[in-house]
Structures are given as structure tokens and as C-alpha cells.
Amino acid sequence: MSSHISNKSLGENCVICEQYKFIGIHLYTSFICRDCEKDLIHTDTNDPKYKFYLKQLKKVNTPEIFS
């Protein structure tokens, strides 16, 4: 069994920390784990970590709507 398939059973890949986690939220088609969500909410905009979060959130793709 490939590692990709076995990791899928361990949760979803967080777009921010890039680890597989079970609990979190979905933003469009991306997953953000609870730990990253809490840290992001409580991080001051002057903190260097905040820039990292913004960089990682740019990976979130808005799904196209086909009509």
C-alpha cells in the first residue's frame, strides 16, 4: 500500500502545517486543522508567524462554479 493511501486514513492534510489531522474546518476545498485555526486567530498581525499563515492560505483555491 502506498504511503499516500495509508496517510489518507489518518485524516486530512492541513493547508497550513501540511500534516494529517482529524479535526478542523474546510475552507472551500482546503482543510485547516483546529490547531492552526486557533493559532491563526490568536496571532497578532505584527507577529512574523502571521506572514507565514498568509503565505500558506494563498494555497487555498476558490472552486470554479460551472453554470
Task: Give per-residue pLDDT as tens, 1-17.
Answer: 444 444 456 789 999 99
Helix segments in 1-67, DSSP class H = 3-8, 34-42, 48-57
- Give tens-digit pLDDT for 16-63: 999 999 999 999 889 999 999 999 999 999 999 999 999 999 888 766
d(CA 12, CA 17): 11
CB atoms within 10 A of CB 67: 2
The pTM of the full predicted model, rounded to 2 decimals, is 0.74
Amino acid at 53: Y
C-alpha grid cell, residue 49 = 508567524
